[in-house]
């Protein structure tokens, strides 16, 4: 059997070109499983840790889904929201969005706490497709009416277990009350506690399930 390729996952040519630039030759298991499932429009519950290629997986899928839509016009009203627990992860995710969107006309930005909010507010005052955010700063920006979440079509919760460990459940509940009911939601978590299952029950509708082992587990054990 020939090796699975990115092209066989029905990704558009400008995305395949951006992937080729990174040097990746084949999708990782989570990419191979999650990309077709999410492209069909369904929700996703994924058990995947850092190191599996999950970030490129959801980023590429989101970009592919956005390619079919016209340009966004409203200012500060993103179509896609990616929530992450930490500023470091938020910055990494935004970097991944930049990497794979370099040949397409899709805009993104990242917001997180611990830095001045004003420049973020100014940059939000423009049309925006994808917003990557940590929960606390996002709520501050919503409170100040710098961002409008009523246009969210795709929501991603990355490292949801870490978000709960870090005490973000109240922020997430506040945000859940604001998100549009009609949307596609993807939830990634390394572990599945009762709390995560409860959150997944509330956020996801008939999700497709994907579970992958960590990449390079053997190497990590012996290193
Ligand atoms: P993540 O699980 O998203 O933190 O990604 C882990 C690492 O895998 C990152 O350094 C990515 O650049 C890399 N990566 C993502 N997709 C692939 C792929 N298809 N082939 C090889 N490496 C990849």
Per-residue pLDDT reduced to its tens digit, 17-53: 999 999 999 999 999 999 999 999 999 999 998 899 9
| Average pLDDT score over the chain | 93
Query: Measuring from atom 23 of ligand 1, which residue has the nearest CA?
Result: 53
* Atom in ligand 1 nearest the alpha carbon of residue 57: 16
Sign of CA dihedral 146, 177, 47, 223: positive
Which of 28, 56, 162, 186 to probe ligand 1 with, by most ligand atoms within 8 A of CB? 56
What is the rounded CA–CA span in Å between residue 89 and residue 191? 17
* Atom in ligand 1 nearest the alpha carbon of residue 96: 12
Is ligand 1 within 6 A of the CB of residue 137? Answer: no
- 19 Cα to the center of ligand 1, angstroms: 11
Tokens of 138: 């996002």
User: Is the predicted pLDDT of residue 80 greater than 90, yes or no?
Assistant: yes
- 56 Cα to the center of ligand 1, angstroms: 7
Is ligand 1 within 6 A of the CB of residue 24? Answer: yes
What is the rounded CA–CA span in Å between residue 8 and residue 222? 34
Q: What is the mean pLDDT of residues 99-119?
A: 97
Structural contact between residues 149 and 179, judged by C-beta atoms closer than 8 angstroms: yes
Query: Measuring from atom 22 of ligand 1, which residue has the nearest CA?
Result: 24
Structural contact between residues 78 and 129, judged by C-beta atoms closer than 8 angstroms: yes
Helix axes 169-176, 194-203, angle to 10 degrees: 10
Which position has the token pair 């509330």? 202
Is ligand 1 within 6 A of the CB of residue 146? Answer: no
Of the CA atoms within 13 Å of residue 141, those in its CB half-sphere come to 30
* Atom in ligand 1 nearest the alpha carbon of residue 49: 2
Write down the pTM of the prediction.
0.94
Structural contact between residues 94 and 109, judged by C-beta atoms closer than 8 angstroms: yes
Instruction: State the pLDDT confidence band at 70, using cuts at 50, 70 and 90.
Output: confident
Is ligand 1 within 6 A of the CB of residue 125? Answer: no
Structural contact between residues 12 and 67, judged by C-beta atoms closer than 8 angstroms: yes
User: Is the predicted pLDDT of residue 221 greater than 50, yes or no?
Assistant: no
> Which parts of the chain are beta strand (E)?
44-47, 80-83, 108-111, 130-133, 154-157, 184-189, 208-211
């Amino acid at each position: 059997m020939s090796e699975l390729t990115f092209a066989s996952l029905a990704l558009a040519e400008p995305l395949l070109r951006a992937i080729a630039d990174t040097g990746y030759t084949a999708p990782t298991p989570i990419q191979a499983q999650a990309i077709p499932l999410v492209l069909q429009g369904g929700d996703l519950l994924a058990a995947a840790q850092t190191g599996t290629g999950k970030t490129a997986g959801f980023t590429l899928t989101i970009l592919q889904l956005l390619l079919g839509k016209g340009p966004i016009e409203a200012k500060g009203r993103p179509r896609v929201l990616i929530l992450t627990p930490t500023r470091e992860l938020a910055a990494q995710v935004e970097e991944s969005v930049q990497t794979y969107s370099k040949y397409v006309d899709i805009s993104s930005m990242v917001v997180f706490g611990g830095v001045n909010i004003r420049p973020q507010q100014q940059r939000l005052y423009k049309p925006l497709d994808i917003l990557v955010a940590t929960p606390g700063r996002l709520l501050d920006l919503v409170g100040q009416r710098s961002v409008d979440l009523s246009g969210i079509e795709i929501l991603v919760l990355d490292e949801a277990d870490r978000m709960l460990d870090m005490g973000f459940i109240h922020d997430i509940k506040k945000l859940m009350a604001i998100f549009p009911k009609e949307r596609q939601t993807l939830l990634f978590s390394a572990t599945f506690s009762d709390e995560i299952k409860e959150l997944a029950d509330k956020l996801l509708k008939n999700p497709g399930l994907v579970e992958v082992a960590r990449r390079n587990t053997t190497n990590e054990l012996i290193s």
